[in-house]
Structure 1
Amino acid sequence: MASVLSRRRQAAGDEALIRSLFEEHGRALLAYATRLTGDRAAAEDVVQETLVRAWKHPDALVNGKGSVRGWLLTVARNIITDRVRAKAARPAEVAESPTAQPIVRDHADEVVDSMVVMEALDQLSEDHRGVLVQLYFQGRSVTETAAELGIPPGTVKSRSYYALRALREVFGGRQVALKGVAG
């Protein structure tokens, strides 16, 4: 029973200490925190956290090493510094927008189209397949393809024409999304 009474007296004493600290230093602490943060709401949070730390370490207030206000202002500055560092360590948060497209989209159709194209290319002759690979998959021009394959540019054009025509027959009128392949 005696320990319960002593705890109640201690709690009442702690509450009185925090109340007197706020009454005496609260305005200066809030002004200082507001100046450092530039945000009144954030400054109020800093003042609250400072008073919580004072409540947890009452011996630091009465040890005779400097002024109470100086200790409170130092604690407030440290809290603000910690918050700025923590915020800088995290990537910036971006709010979701209902109109924004999802970052990751389903690529299943592209995989299927790619498989269909690879199977169709396997049905072409080596000469026709080689020209299409150079033009569309390697991104080379007619001149570059001709130099790479060691054939005249006119032959590159002719082989690409007949290769694309053969692909159209293989696909049988199905639409396949090919980047860079004219249909």
Structure 2
Amino acid sequence: MVRRLYAEHGAALLAYATRLSGDRAAAEGIVRETLRRAWTEPAALSEERGAVRAHLFGLLRSVAGAPADPLPMLGAIGTLAPEEREVLNQLYFHGRDVKEAAASLGLPAETVKSRSYQALRRLREALAADVTMEAAG
């Protein structure tokens, strides 16, 4: 099952994980963990359920968004503009896609995409700075 999932969805998952993490090696680990979790819940991926790729992307987001220590992430989120936090809240905590988040927020989909991109970029930068300061200290 895992081989079939990887053959069908691996490239898309890896591309998305790379965008989220900003690091190809980390993205490969995220995809491996995503597929491991999918393997542990095969009923969630049955053809009757439909939307297998959507489920895999949801798993991937949860894997990519679960840092080992949440405190640096909380600090980084606090540096975001309120409108960026709200977009991430809609996409990652409420599990909405861009179209649904846009409707919920009363914004064009392109604005949601832009804010999401900027917010994720800022989070990566803030977390990288935190790691750099921690290594220096």
Q: Hey, which of these two has a bigger chunk of helix by percent?
A: 2
In structure 2, the gaps of 5 or more residues are 75-129
Report deviation, 1:94.
1.9
Distance of 2:50 and 2:72 partners within structure 1: 32
Give the equivalent residue in structure 1 for 2:52: 68
Give the equivalent residue in structure 2 for 1:45: 29
Distance of 2:12 and 2:73 partners within structure 1: 30
1:26 counterpart = 2:67: no
Give the equivalent residue in structure 2 for 1:83: 67
Q: 1:66 to 1:88 in 2, by over 3 A?
A: farther
Aligned residues: 80
Q: Which has the higher contact order (CA 8 A, sep 6+)?
A: 2
The percentage of aligned residue pairs carrying the same residue is 47
Pairwise mapping of residues 81-160 of structure 1 onto structure 2 (< 5 A)?
81-83=65-67, 86=70, 88=72, 92=131, 93-95=134-136
Report deviation, 1:82.
1.0
Report deviation, 1:65.
3.1
Residue type at the aligned position of 1:76 = L
TM-score by length of 1: 0.39
Report deviation, 1:86.
2.9
Residue type at the aligned position of 1:52 = R
Hey, which bits of structure 1, 4+ residues long, moved more than 4 A?
A: 89-92
Distance of 2:22 and 2:43 partners within structure 1: 31
Of 17, 27, 36, the residue aligned with 2:20 is 36
In structure 1, the gaps of 5 or more residues are 1-16, 97-183
Q: CA offsets per residue over residues 81-127 of structure 1, 9 Å max, x none?
A: 1128636269743257xxxxxxxxxxxxxxxxxxxxxxxxxxxxxxx
Q: Which has the larger radius of gyration?
A: 1
After the TM superposition, which of the residue ranges 66-75 and 42-51 deviates more from structure 2? 66-75
TM-score by length of 2: 0.51
Give the equivalent residue in structure 2 for 1:4: none
Q: What's the RMSD between the two structures over aligned residues? A: 2.5
Give the equivalent residue in structure 2 for 1:11: none
